[in-house]
Amino acid sequence: MPKHLKSLFLFAITLTFLSACSDNGKPELGVQYKKLPTALTQPDIKPVTEVFSLTCGHCRNLEPSLAELEGLTHQKFGKVHVTFNDQAQTAALFYYAGVMQLNHIPDEKMMSELFAAVQLGEGSTLTQQQQAVEQVFTSRHIISPYNFDELQKKALLEYLKGAMAITNQAKFDAVPTFIVNGKYQVLIPGHKDIQDIANTINYLLKQP
């Protein structure tokens, strides 16, 4: 092999090796995650917080995997419902009506039923959706948000205001996503599977 070709070949091999070493599976800013415009410090923001909407099909698909993600990251996730349009705000009222009465995040079964009620599909009427939502609450012997008194409505509105403040401050434009340490947003499309998402979360948990 001519000397100059041999040198180019060795240079290419070296670059490939260095690239492989520097990558090392490390999440990349702008691909797997981004920094929020300002840090979120609200009480609802935990070290890892899922941001979602009951109107979102991808959020519904992700919900059964949250327990696995919590196990892979050794974290108990917080949860914030976005309010970036009228439909999301209405759905947020259903979610926070549950949180308000249970005094904790609804379990996976209740979340599954809330997703199903909100996403009844084309052809369903508002009456049918209301009945489905009411069933989620009455089957657990808690009050349907449709039957809240004025005091309960006022308390629920405070939950909604909190969610709106977080949504507006972080400028969310897509869900589902995760906020880590109140500073970083995980970009779900930049990941291939649950383990990949967990790797990014674990990496961001260690960042200042």
Instruction: Please report whether residue 21 resides in a domain.
Output: no
**pTM for the whole structure:** 0.86
Looking at residue 4, its pLDDT comes to 45
What pLDDT, in 10s, does the model give residues 133-146?
Answer: 999 999 999 999 99
Instruction: Please report whether residue 196 resides in a domain.
Output: yes
Residue 14 has pLDDT above 80, yes or no: no
What pLDDT, in 10s, does the model give residues 84-142?
Answer: 999 999 999 999 999 999 999 999 999 999 999 999 987 889 999 999 999 999 999 99
Q: Name the strand (E) or helix (H) holding 177.
A: strand 177-180
Average pLDDT for 4-13 = 42
Instruction: Please report whether residue 10 resides in a domain.
Output: no
CA distance 80 to 93: 12
What pLDDT, in 10s, does the model give residues 147-176?
Answer: 999 999 999 999 999 999 999 999 998 999
Instruction: Please report whether residue 133 resides in a domain.
Output: yes
Are 51 and 80 a contacting pair, CB within 8 Å? yes
φ, ψ (nearest 5 deg) of residue 138: -65, -30
Total domains present in the chain: 1
Are 69 and 201 a contacting pair, CB within 8 Å? yes
Looking at residue 163, its pLDDT comes to 97
Mean pLDDT estimate for the chain: 90
CA distance 32 to 29: 6
Instruction: Please report whether residue 90 resides in a domain.
Output: yes
Residue 11 has pLDDT above 60, yes or no: no
CA distance 92 to 139: 20
75: helix, coil or strand? coil
Residue 132: burial class (beta carbons within 10 Å; 0-12, 13-18, 19+): middle
Are 51 and 171 a contacting pair, CB within 8 Å? no
Of the pLDDT bands very low, low, confident and very high (cuts 50, 70, 90), residue 57 is very high
CA distance 40 to 128: 37
Of the pLDDT bands very low, low, confident and very high (cuts 50, 70, 90), residue 1 is low
- CATH number, domain of 84, equals 3.40.30.10
Give me the domain span that covers residue 124: 30-205
Average pLDDT for 21-39 = 84
Q: What residues contact 11, with CB distance under 8 A and at least 6 apart?
A: none
Instruction: Please report whether residue 20 resides in a domain.
Output: no
Instruction: Please report whether residue 158 resides in a domain.
Output: yes
